[in-house]
């Protein structure tokens, strides 16, 4: 399975970006998908996760109400819509997939995800 993230870029505070992550080589509808981010000098942190069918989602408190995740299983793609961006949202954003879930349960733990994309840079200027 390969994950390819895209959509990052540089925006001013208050702007929006939509990240995409496409998967190939696997039954996408059986992958629990997550987004994580890593800011310079900081540890990787959980952002959001979405279940197989897209009905269950969980968000980090830091971005709740600001970011929205969704998925289109027909397109093998998961999305991260980011609104009202702040300079502190600057980070490399990674999509990840849990290939081993037998129930489709979502997880906030990076160790649960065994497949990772290459990351896409998001830079928010003030």
- Distance CA(65)–CA(84), nearest Å, equals 10
Residue 3, strand partner residues: 23
pLDDT at site 118: 93
Q: State both tokens at 93.
A: 């954003």
pLDDT at site 85: 98
| String of DSSP letters for 32-60 | EEEEEEE-TTS--EEEEEE-TTS--EEE-
Q: State both tokens at 106.
A: 């979502």
| DSSP 8-class letter at 114 | -
pLDDT at site 124: 98
Tens of pLDDT, residue by residue, the chain (126 residues): 799 999 999 999 999 999 999 998 778 999 999 999 999 999 999 999 999 999 999 999 999 999 999 999 999 999 999 999 999 999 999 999 998 888 888 999 999 999 999 999 999 999
């Amino acid at each position: 399975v390969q994950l390819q993230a895209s959509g990052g870029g540089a925006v001013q505070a208050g702007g929006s970006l939509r990240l995409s992550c496409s998967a190939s080589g696997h039954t996408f509808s059986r992958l629990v998908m997550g987004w994580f981010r890593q800011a310079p000098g900081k540890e990787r942190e959980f952002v959001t996760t979405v279940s197989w069918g897209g009905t269950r989602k969980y968000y980090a408190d830091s971005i709740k109400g600001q970011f929205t995740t969704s998925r289109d299983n027909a397109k093998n793609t998961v999305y991260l819509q980011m609104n009202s961006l702040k300079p502190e949202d600057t980070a490399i954003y990674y999509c990840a997939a849990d290939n081993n879930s037998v129930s489709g349960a979502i997880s906030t733990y990076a160790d649960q995800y065994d497949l990772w994309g290459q990351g896409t840079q998001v830079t928010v200027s003030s």
